[in-house]
Amino acid sequence: MFTLEVPFASPAYDETVRLRDEILRKPLGLSFTAEDLALEFESIHLACYNRQWELMACLVLVWKGDNLKMRQVAVDERYQRRGIGQFLVAASERVAANYGAQKLVLNARETAVPFYQKLAYSIDGNRFEEVGIPHFKMYKDLS
C-alpha cells in the first residue's frame, strides 16, 4: 500500500470525494455542495491505494496558521480495521512535517478518539457537537 498527494479537481481527487461522501456524509444525511468542494482548492489531499490502484482511504489537510488540520478521514468499509487508517495518519504526519507544520490538529468524532489516542494524539478541551454528533479537538506536536 502507498499514499499519494492528489491534485484538486483531478480524477483521483474526485474519487476521494466519492469515498468521503459515502463514508462520512451519507450516513448523516449530508452531501457535498459545490461551495464545500471549492473551499478545498488550497487543501492537501492524500489518498491511500493498494497495489491494484484501488482507493482504500483518504484525508484532507488544511492550513490553520502554522498548523495543519486533518479532516475528512475516510477508510473504505472493505478495508477498515486493517491498519490502513493508521498508515494514512502516519503518512499525513510526515507530509505535514515536510510542509513545516508545527502541529497536526483535528476534530475527532467521539467514537474515533481512542484510535487517535493510540497514535499519540491528545484531547484539547471539552466535547462539542459538529454535524450533529459529538467530537473532541485533538492535536499532536510534530516538532
Q: Tell me: the pLDDT tens digits for 80-130?
A: 999 999 999 999 999 999 999 999 999 999 999 999 999 999 999 999 999
Encode pLDDT of 76-86 as tens digits: 999 999 999 99
What residue type is 119 in one-letter code? L
* Other Cβ atoms closer than 10 A to 137: 17
Is the C-alpha dihedral spanning 105, 46, 76, 17 positive or negative?
positive
Element holding 67 (H helix, E strand) = strand 67-75
Task: List phi, psi (to 5°) of 81.
Answer: 65, 35
Query: What is the 8-class DSSP label of residue 7?
Result: -
Mean pLDDT, residues 65-82: 94
Mean pLDDT of the chain: 94
> What gap in Å lies between CA 7 and CA 70, rounded to an integer?
17
Helices (H), the chain: 11-20, 34-38, 84-98, 113-118
Cell of 51: 497495489
Between 28 and 141, the higher pLDDT residue:
141
- What percent of the chain is predicted at pLDDT more than 70? 100
Lowest mean pLDDT among 26-30, 63-67, 84-88, 118-122: 26-30
What does pTM read for this prediction? Answer: 0.92
**What backbone torsions phi and psi does residue 53 show, to the nearest 5 degrees?**
60, 30
With CA atoms as reference, report the closest residue to 133 among 20, 30, 39.
30
Q: Mention every residue, 6+ apart, whose C-beta is less than 8 A from residue 29.
A: none
Q: What is the mean pLDDT of residues 27-47?
A: 92
